[in-house]
Amino acid sequence: MEKIKMTTPLVEMDGDEMTRILWGMIKEKLILPYVDLKTEYYDLGLLNRNATKDQVTVDAANAAKRLGVAVKCATITPNRQRMEEYPELTEMWKSPNGTIRAILDGTAFRAPIVLPCIRPVVKNWERPITIARHAYGDMYKAVDMATEEPGTATLAFRGESGVEKTLCVQTVDGPAVWQGQHNKEASIRAFARSCFQYAAAQKQDLWFSAKDTIAKVYDGEFKRIFEEEYETSYKAEFENLGITYFYTLIDDAVARAVRSRGGFIWALKNYDGDVMSDMIAAAFGSLAMMTSVLVSPGGTMEFEASHGTVTRHYYRYLKGEKTSTNPMATIFAWTGALKRRGELDGLPELSGFGERLEAASLKTLEDGVMTKDLLPLVEPGFRARGVDSGEFLDAIAARL
Ligand code: NAP
Ligand code: MG
């Protein structure tokens, strides 16, 4: 066939270990034969981050900002153990995802890949639930302390102009614990914008939940900013798309989510998102089937798998073993990026290719051909056969 043309490149961020191996296989077997692929390539593998003093991560993030679409392979975040494993490392480089998120000012959305033969624990969930977790502030940038005697704590703010604001937190009659937390207007607004942008791109309803009946000022501010952004910038677009935005209390949202059929985006404050994203991931089945997309308030999207570099499989691969590592989330990172590129550039063939590749991948699983991590998750009575990664990708290519 004649290869599908691209006009604007997308940013390709290569990574580490087993996912780097899968990355090459996915391109070779599923993308390059069909798409005249245009990418700006950045090697975010640990050794190249080290060789460039991590400049490559910054360059890749800036390229994503410029080109609007990126796809990223999982990468090693070095810790003490990795410093021993790679003695050439000159520094314990920071998490690439953290660096990219700081540059794009983005929010990460996590969504499970769902299919009929692997039912979520909650039986009525038919479509994925996507979690958007605010990634700044609250408890994660709080200070806390313990005190030993009766006394009074106050909350004090001193403005640069000299203005002062003081509140009594509590007078206690014995030992106590205290916490001071904050969030920033600009960060909440960027979070809200990313959520509205992504909901519009996905054509799915957006929920936002907090506890403004109790934290009237703090959570009230989150609720107000979301409402303000919706009314001034997104309402018309949402109405055109036939999707809705709604705010509800966090406890009501939890109850509604469990009773829902799925298929919506759920925006959550930092702590709520931390908790709920693990609950949703576990309920839908497997980390290997969880995708992630970082969305900047300006609409730049960076797609990736939620899982890491699958180190254990990589060491078996290095010994010459064939591994059964699940490439689904990495494939869906590529299809997400190709679909977005196609949409932004008005290339329906490119978006259509992304959709066909997703359909072929799902069909392969529905035909009972899957990597071994999924075998214990399938519905009773469903006949499935475990294959290695290469065989799985070939089976997808045959259906594609
Ligand atoms: P991991 O790579 O997600 O793997 C943990 C285990 O989960 C694997 O050993 C494997 O279990 C299973 N697993 C995960 N993905 C799988 C897949 N696609 N197919 C089959 N099984 C899969 O987490 P980790 O071992 O904690 O982290 C390894 C490295 O990844 C670390 O250096 C960390 O810094 C990095 N990391 C990067 C990102 C990112 O770039 N976004 C995210 C998380 C972690 P079995 O071994 O039992 O088969
Ligand atoms: Mg968590």
Query: How do residues 261-303 score in pLDDT, each as one tens digit?
Result: 999 999 999 999 989 988 898 898 888 999 999 999 888 999 9
pLDDT score of 319: 97
Distance 124 CA to ligand 2 centre (A): 24
Please name the residue whose Cα sits nearest to atom 10 of ligand 1.
Answer: 310
Band (316; pLDDT cuts 50, 70, 90): very high
Pairing assessment for the beta strands 290-295 and 107-112 based on DSSP bridges: antiparallel
- Ligand 2 mean position to 131 CA, how many Å? 12
pTM of the model as a whole? 0.90
Mean pLDDT (the chain, rounded): 95
What pLDDT band is residue 233 in, cutting at 50, 70 and 90? very high
Q: Where are the CATH 3.40.718.10 domain residues in the chain? A: 1-115+303-400
For 380-396, b/e burial (b = at least 16 CB within 10 A) is: eeeebeebebbebbbbb
CATH topology of domain 1-115+303-400: Isopropylmalate Dehydrogenase (3.40.718)
Reply yes or no on whether the pLDDT at 47 is more than 90: yes
Q: What is the pLDDT of residue 287?
A: 84
Q: Tell me if 25 sits within 8 A of 389, measured CB to CB.
A: yes
Cα dihedral 211/212/214/219 (nearest 10)? 80
Ligand nearest to the CA of 86: 1
Nearest CA to ligand 1 atom 8: 310
Tens-place pLDDT, residues 125-135: 999 999 999 98
With vertex at residue 130, the alpha carbon angle to CA 198 and CA 21, rounded to the nearest 5 degrees, is 90
What is the pLDDT averaged over residues 309-328? 97
Residue with tokens 């700044």: 136
Q: With bands split at pLDDT 50, 70 and 90, how would you rate the model's confidence at 1? A: confident
Using the structure block, give the residue that is written with the tokens 């299919």.
Answer: 115
Q: Ligand nearest 291 Cα, by number?
A: 1
Q: Among positive and negative, which fits the CA dihedral 317, 323, 329, 330?
A: positive
Q: How confident is the model at residue 223, as a pLDDT?
A: 98
Ligand 1 atom, smallest distance to 310 CA: 2
Asked if the model's pLDDT at residue 352 lies above 90, the reply is yes
pLDDT in tens, 8-39: 999 999 999 999 999 999 999 999 999 999 99
Looking at residue 196, what is its pLDDT?
A: 97
The closest-lying atom of ligand 1 relative to the alpha carbon of residue 77 is: 34
Q: How far apart are CA 25 and CA 19, in angstroms?
A: 10
CATH topology of domain 119-137+183-284: Protein-Tyrosine Phosphatase; Chain A (3.90.190)
Task: Report how far ligand 1's centroid is from the alpha carbon of 310 (Å).
Answer: 4
Residue nearest to atom 39 of ligand 1 (CA): 74
- The least confident of 135-139, 311-315, 328-332, 354-358 is 135-139
Instruction: List ligand 1's pocket residues with C-beta within 6 A.
Output: 74-77, 97, 287-288, 304, 307-312, 325-326, 373
- pLDDT of amino acid 141: 86
User: What residue ranges of the chain are covered by domains with CATH 3.90.190?
Assistant: 119-137+183-284
> What separation in Å is there between the alpha carbon of 307 and the centre of ligand 1?
5
Is the model's pLDDT at 203 over the cut of 90? yes
Q: What is the mean pLDDT of residues 306-324?
A: 96
Give residue 119's pLDDT: 85
Give residue 18 CA to ligand 1 midpoint distance, Å: 9
Nearest ligand, measured from the Cα of 276: 2
Provide the β-strand partners of residue 70: 11, 302
Cβ atoms of 157 and 165 closer than 8 Å: yes
- The residue to mutate among 76, 89, 292, 309, having the most atoms of ligand 1 within 8 angstroms of its beta carbon, is 309
Answer yes or no: are the C-beta atoms of 42 and 100 closer than 8 Å.
no
Out of 95, 287, 294, 310, give the residue to mutate to test ligand 1, the one with the largest number of ligand atoms within 8 Å of its CB.
310
Question: For 174-198, how does the pLDDT look when each residue is reduced to its tens digit (9 = 90+)?
Answer: 999 999 999 999 999 999 999 999 9
